[in-house]
Amino acid sequence: MNYIYNKLRYLLFLVVLVLLIPAAPISGTVSGAAGRYTVYEQAPPPAEKIDPAVGEALAGKDYVEVLVKLTRQVDTGLVARDALRHAPSGEGGRAAVRAAVVDELRANADACQKSLMLYLEQERCSGNVLEYRGYYIVNMVFVKAAPAVVKQLARRADVKLILPNSVIQMELPEIVESGEIISQAVEWGVSRINAPAAWSQGYMGQGVVVGVIDTGVDWQHEALQTKWRGCNPSNPGSPNVDYNWFDATTPKSPLPKDANGHGTHVTGTILGSAGANQIGAAPGAQWIAARAFGDDGRAYSSTLLSAGQFMLAPTDRNGQNPRPDLAPHIVNNSWGSEIPGEADEWFRPMVQAWRSAGILPVFSAGNDGGHGPGSISNPANYPESLAVAATDSGDKLASFSSRGPGYMEGIKPEISAPGVGIRSSYNNGGYATAQGTSMAAPHVSGAAALLLSANANLDVDELQQVLIDTAIPLTDPAYPEWPNYGYGYGLVDALAAINSLSTIYGDLDGSGSVNVVDAVMVLRHAASLLSLTPEQAAAADANGDGYVNIADAIIVLRYIAGLVGELPYRP
């Protein structure tokens, strides 16, 4: 008994000590300093700047397509953090942060690319450059030029790397069946993630926009047409293309199209519906799309850069006048590298920019599960990406679903969703049943849209964390521990995610407020003197790290004392 008493007395002593220590100030850079958001990436010697694949091409081609990455980039995370300090809550604050990120990226690119563009224009007039264009989401320039020009670019001090304009071949899913038959029911995957239960509470994805980078979308499909943000209800034949559709492929289509069907299937699973035919998880949401993959499922690094930049700040039909305030809340990416486990970070700055701008990047984990552990590839394996594994109707991991770990620390994939036998919209107005992690990712995008319709004030980190925290844990003989590198934290559960928002962090006794009784309950749990129910444990996790311990008790007490502004508190 004395042991327990002394343990509690020691814990209370620590609590009092922490209460007396003032909170640490937020660190930052010197206000107003020139280039405060600039990151200079050291360039290697000229001979090492040229990627080996580019070097091989230089020996046998008259003109080579390359991506020239400059040394001066932007710390978009720092831009976002500074902007957030002065931004209002909700959508207004999100738009303000996006604008700050885009403004800084554009200013950096404009300043850095001037002299390079002047040189390229001179070489174009001489016939040595066929094409060039700059990007700002990454400070990079696409160039199609003669080998001599590429070699000269490597000698420039402002050039860090010269990369190939690589081909990315989408691994097209297996189409089990296709046709015109309409099922008057909710698709099994949509039901399995508890989307209909969220609808019954009034959360349909309303007010949320999901961007889709894929093979395009059949905009006239009955399950998708009215959900396109560009739809003109009064005159459906004359939609508003500006800021709602972008085609990075050649030849370009003035209106959304999809001769492949992959993008149409994906978009349908996110939000499609036609009467009682419910194929999508968030039928109240809207979509916009960027076509980066051609009819053959092939994209290039440059088309994905263009599509990703459009999602950060959509443009008009001429590719001008970017509007970050019209960016989507979520971007679905049902594509990835063909090389299992590849750790290439070529796309990571774009994913980081999305995330800094408050956009949730959802990626399919890939279909290389046959290669075993570590088969998840980029961009799904980036820390900033929310990677999605595929499960079947029995909640078992699909054999094709790529496995973790990723190339960096942490659980990959993070979450699972239905990806086997998924029926959705298809090209030419039809429907098809397909399987692949491409089919799993849109279930998570849809669930995220439902969650945002329940609470539009969630930032991108909170949005992802709630989805992960409320996922249904999944294990099997190959992955007996949880979380794991097969299912991640488990099956996405839209209803549980929404219901978790009603949790009053710190309120364990159900009084509707946070008081000393709650703090004592957390202390007793930390001292192994009290077992909490799952609901109480969720409320007790005051710092949102997934555990309940003395740190949570301290945060609750500081909250009661007015030293912490809100819960959960994430320092």
Catalytic positions are 214, 262, 438
> Which has the closest alpha carbon to 520: 546, 540, 547, 545?
540
Q: Count CA within 13 A, CB hemisphere, residue 568.
A: 24
Helices (H) and strands (E) in the chain, counts: 17, 20
Pairing of strands 386-391, 360-364: parallel
Residue 113, class by beta-carbon neighbours within 10 Å (0-12 exposed, 13-18 middle, 19+ buried)?
buried
How many residues appear in the chain?
571
| Cβ burial 168-191 (10 Å sphere, 16+ → b, else e) | bebbbbeeeebeeeeeeebbebbe
Structure tokens belonging to residue 400: 């094709």
Helix (H) or strand (E) holding 502: none
Pairing of strands 38-40, 72-74: antiparallel
Q: Please check whether residue 354 is in contact with residue 311, taking contact to mean a CB–CB distance below 8 angstroms.
A: yes
Looking up tokens 């993959």, which residue turns up? 293
Q: What is the 3-state secondary structure (H, E, C) of 273-326?
A: EECCEECCCCCCCEEEEEECCCCCCEEEHHHHHHHHHHHHCCCCCCCCCCCHHH
Pairing of strands 298-300, 167-169: antiparallel
- Radius of gyration of the CA atoms of the chain, in A: 25
Q: Please check whether residue 223 is in contact with residue 273, taking contact to mean a CB–CB distance below 8 angstroms.
A: yes
How far is residue 386's CA from residue 464's CA, in Å, rounded to a whole number?
A: 8
Pairing of strands 245-247, 286-291: parallel
* DSSP characters over 132-184: EEEETTTTEEEEEE-HHHHHHHHT-TTEEEEEE--EEE--PPEEEEEES---S
Helix (H) or strand (E) holding 169: strand 167-169
How far is residue 395's CA from residue 456's CA, in Å, rounded to a whole number?
A: 30
- Residues β-bridged to residue 290: 213, 246
How far is residue 50's CA from residue 154's CA, in Å, rounded to a whole number?
A: 7
User: DSSP label at 225?
Assistant: G
Cis peptide before 483 (omega within 30 of 0): yes
* Helices marked H in 470-566: 494-500, 516-526, 534-540, 550-560
Cross-sheet strand order for the sheet of 431-435: 174-179, 431-435, 422-425
